[in-house]
A and B are shown apart, each in its own frame.
Chain A
């Protein structure tokens, strides 16, 4: 039987920003970059979270509502229960890649960056866009990993002022990439995919959707253009977003 719930203990917790925490569990989970787990809090709810690192299993969670508030109240040594991994994953080998994350959308791309950089002769360039400095996460993590990083904020409180897409445009004028991966708000991803197409660069997007059965693929809640985001996705070819 697949879809079994796994219960682990929280080994450590790191505060990324005022509203974002990273939870490291005392277990590992064989999985691929782009995949996610469904985290269950008994009698509350169950929601998907992208895998940041599989060994030990690491999840970065922004507090955005009552459920994530509940998760944020957990302490070291508390139990966390999940099922997975689920979903499609990013395709990569070796080469020069560009990763573009909007807001907390950058989080699932960290796993991908760490895997690409294990390949020979590979580089990862990361563009992170956020509303404001307070929402900017993972910049230092990517730097430490050995990525070239660029940051922009909508209000100019950190890095370049403006949208991530504009930064990508500037980059593409100077440099080419084997592929572009993006995750974040839909308008940003659409802009990135269209830019990629203009420069004849393949792209992959990681879609967000509301999940119910999450990964099992029976309820139909996450249907998008005839695909199930929870099962056929969350990673799709960028062409999905071309109108």
Chain B
């Protein structure tokens, strides 16, 4: 990591490295699924830009066209998206990422319509040299998947996690929705199912944006999941709640744009942070910038290890 500053020439830099089970992260920033991530070349670019790990776009069993355009629309404080899991499907996806060199760890993201699909995907995706499997149970805008398929309940979460757990020795990350009430119960269910980490989380909502000149929702699917700064307070609260109920590490995803956002998430209980929409505002250099800001903040507050800040906002 070359974020050395002149003044700290003689001082040791604060430690940003952390781990999620066997997934070692040189720094706590992770590219969130579905941002770039359809091909190896774009993931390489993010890896070179300093991400601690990168997540591929979620793979489905069969190729999916996704929803018609528009699939993404800018709103106050972020974006609404309804991509609809457009991807080349498992076979092509495996081909695409097979050669990943793992200089930066790759996380394999999978989504299924039912238990069998999750099991099949969990097995097949290990043909790619991934370092963890992320199962996504939380999409708010794709019929047959995630929230629209009832995968967000504690029962479904535990059952799916259990089945995937049986298929792999890799760390299993379960990605949940910030839209769910009593999120602690769902996180607990994931933990009981054998998850190694929780990703909190997916987009919030769904929400809608109407163009008043055309009197029509802009997104083709009409509704979409909200990402970006506007959802950060809700994500932070959800991470805080989850930290109280489970022991496994948490990845905080949703509106992380700066190192200060990342430190806030860590204080709520996160071990790492996911970054998606932030790339729009700060480019792929966002990964380095977040680390720089974290280091500066830690130096000025005499914090030598990011791991000592975890859960700091909770009463002792």
Using a CB–CB cutoff of 8 Å, the interface residues on chain A facing chain B are 1-5, 7, 38, 40, 42-47, 79, 81, 211-214, 216-221, 223, 225-226, 228
The verdict on A3 contacting B42 (CB below 8 Å), with A212-B83, A218-B35 known, is no
User: Which partner residue on chain B sits nearest A44 by CB separation?
Assistant: B68
B211 within 8 A of A: yes
Proximity string of chain B (52-75) to chain A, C-beta cutoff 8 Å, 1 when within and 0 when not: 000001000000001011111111
**Given known contacts A5-B211, A79-B213, A81-B214, A221 and B38 CB-to-CB distance under 8 angstroms:** yes
The one of B41, B68, B279 that contacts A218, using a Cβ cutoff of 8 Å: B279
Q: Is the CB of B69 within 8 A of A5?
A: no
**A47, B34: Cα distance in complex, Å:** 20
The reply on B218 being an interface residue by CB < 8 A is yes
Contacts of B214 in A (CB 8 A): 5, 7, 42, 79, 81
How would residues 24 to 37 of chain B score, 1 for a CB under 8 Å from any chain A CB and 0 otherwise?
00000000001111
* Residue of A with least CB distance to B75: A1
- B181: interface (CB < 8 Å): no
Please give me the residue from chain A that is nearest to B214 by CB atom.
A42
A218-B280, A220-B37 as given contacts; A226 in contact with B83, CB under 8 Å: no
Q: Which of B57, B66, B83, B213 contacts A5 (CB 8 A)?
A: B213
B44 to chain A, nearest CB (A): 6
* B contact face: mostly helix, strand, loop, or mixed: loop
Q: A45-B220, A223-B38 are contacts. A218–B79 as well, Cβ < 8 Å?
A: yes
Pick from B71, B74, B218: contact of A212, CB under 8 Å: B71
- B residues contacting A by CB (< 8 A) are 34-39, 41-42, 44-45, 57, 66, 68-76, 79, 81, 83, 86, 211, 213-214, 216, 218, 220, 276-277, 279-280
Q: Find out whether the CB atom of A81 lies under 8 angstroms from the CB atom of B42.
A: no
CB distance from A232 to the nearest CB of B (A): 10
Contact B213 A81 (CB under 8 A): yes
* Interfacial chain A residues near B74, Cβ < 8 Å: 1-4, 216
B276 touches A220 (CB 8 A): no
> For residue B213, which residues in chain A have a CB less than 8 angstroms away from its CB?
5, 7, 79, 81
Residue among A46, A79, A225 having the largest count of chain B Cβ atoms under 10 Å: A46
Known: A7-B214, A79-B213, A218-B277. A213 touches B39 (CB 8 A): no
Q: How far is the CA of A38 from the CA of B34 in the complex (A)?
A: 21
Contacts of A43 in B (CB 8 A): 216, 220
- A45 touching B68, Cβ below 8 Å: yes
B211: chain A residues within 8 A (beta carbon): 5, 7, 42, 81
**Among B38, B57, B72: residue with most chain A CB under 10 A:** B72
Contacts of B279 in A (CB 8 A): 217-218
Whether the Cβ atoms of A216 and B280 lie closer than 8 Å is yes
Cβ of B69 and Cβ of A212 under 8 Å apart? yes
In the complex the two chains form, is B70's CB within 8 Å of A220's CB?
no
Whether B216 lies near A216 (C-beta < 8 A) is no
Measured between beta carbons, the chain B residues less than 8 angstroms from A219 are 34-36, 38, 71-72, 83, 86
